[in-house]
Homo-oligomer: A and B are copies of this chain.
Amino acid sequence: MKELKCWFDIPQNHDFSIYNIPFGVFYTNNQKSTARAGAALGDFVIDLNSLFKLGYLSHIEDLKGEVFEKNKLNDLLSLGNKVCNNVRYAVQELFSNPNSKLKKHPEHLETILIQISLVKMLLPIQVKDYVDFYSSLDHAINLGKMFRDEKNPLLPNWKHIPIGYHGRSSSIIVGGTNFKRPKGQLCAVDSTQPTFGLTKQLDFELEMAFITCKNTALGEVISPDECSDAIFGFALFNDWSARDIQRWEYVPLGPFLGKSFASSLSPWLVSLEALTPFALPSQDKDVSELEYLKCKKNGLFDIHLEIYIQSDKMQEPFLISRSNYKYMYWNLFQQLAHMTSNGSPISVGDVYASGTISGPYPESYGSMLELAWKGNKPITLPDGSRRSFIEDGDTVIFKGFAINEHVRIGFGELSVKVLPS
């Protein structure tokens, strides 16, 4: 990898290094009506719309300037990964080459660079279909142990098929958007007479989501090794879950209102290309994969994931878990290939979430359900309070980053506070 250094100062270990250049949609308070595409670099947002209008991206083939004027990235992504990556390279060149065109026009920087603390972020995409997978082996085993059979926790299909379900796209919200504790039907385990009220078992699920950049037709199938062309990149994802609502409603057709009240996506989309140095092969499996799921490409990524909680009484967030995308059993290419294997079309702006990413150790679990083991091992927070589930006033923060001695590619944070109803 070519060494790059930004010619303005970026603090060491910053998520938004010159190697990253994630895309998002932002606005500033004084220009609320003109949300537009941006890229994050250090503590700044690069206004891609201004960059284009000033001619700095005009050499990029097939790029149309109007894609940066929109309040969603769908039109940009629909140009495909080649064009999107060329935008990223252009930004890297403009800000790392000490003789770049931009460096020679410091008067343009006032328009192009905006302090990240001054912008508000929007949901970066118009979400088309949203799918949530269930692809972490440790998570599936943990839930099986809790709710099915301690000795035989996995269902027979789990190691053969990337289990998933369709979720609600309308309640996908961008990080920073808080929501009120939801209501739903609740029924005690030993009863069959439900009541309607506030969930008492609000939980998070630590996930990553990939976003597609391709439309396919009904009947079109994509193999795992072709999938990288159809995926733009990743964001952090919190699949908020009301365990008590979910438990009563989910038989036999799966999760519905126990999930659909809110799902949070982080504002910056990190490209697959930026994450390539951190790609890993799948782990050895004791069950052979069906041919249509076999994947030659490395589809796991060494992305460190962290979960923090901060209650209203705490001064700072408290780390409660560390996991990693490398623990996934089914990788993103296998998930997407499976999704299309029956001819179902995909669209630009589909969101495919990984499912809760739990690691093999108790301190790497990805949900309160697992971390507090069904309420049997509550977590004690620095303010002295204990948690089996999430309480009103709690802020849940996910962080994610890939790192080696040269490069850091981070996702920023996904931070959401639960408000009283």
Contact = CB atoms under 8 A, between A and B. Distances in A.
Interface of A: 128-130, 134, 155-157, 160-161, 163-171, 173, 177, 179-180, 182-185, 187, 192-196, 218-219, 242, 245, 248-257, 260-262, 290-292, 338-339, 341-347, 350
B166 A165 contact: yes
A211 B253 CA distance: 22
Contacts of A187: 157, 160
Nearest to A254: B254
Nearest to A350: B170
B344 A161 contact: no
Given A180-B343, A254-B253, A173 B290 contact: no
Contacts of A196: 290-292, 341
Given A167-B166, A290-B195, A249 B157 contact: yes
9 contacts: A155-B251, A157-B192, A157-B194, A164-B256, A165-B256, A183-B342, A184-B341, A253-B255, A260-B342
A260 B166 contact: yes
A157 B179 CA distance: 27
Given A170-B129, A290-B194, A155 B252 contact: yes
A161 B164 CA distance: 23
Contacts of A166: 130, 165-168, 256, 260
A53 to B, nearest CB: 28
A207 to B, nearest CB: 14
Contacts of A184: 341-342
Given A169-B169, A254-B255, 5 more contacts: A129-B170, A171-B344, A254-B254, A261-B344, A262-B343
A157 B341 contact: no
A341 B254 contact: no
A223 to B, nearest CB: 12
Nearest to A199: B342
A167 B130 CA distance: 10
A245 B163 CA distance: 12
A165 B257 contact: no
A136 to B, nearest CB: 14
Contacts of A218: 171, 173, 177, 179, 262
A354 to B, nearest CB: 14
A257 B161 CA distance: 11
A217 to B, nearest CB: 10
B170 A245 contact: no
A231 to B, nearest CB: 16
Contacts of A170: 128-129, 344-347, 350
Contact of A248 (B157, B185, B242): B157
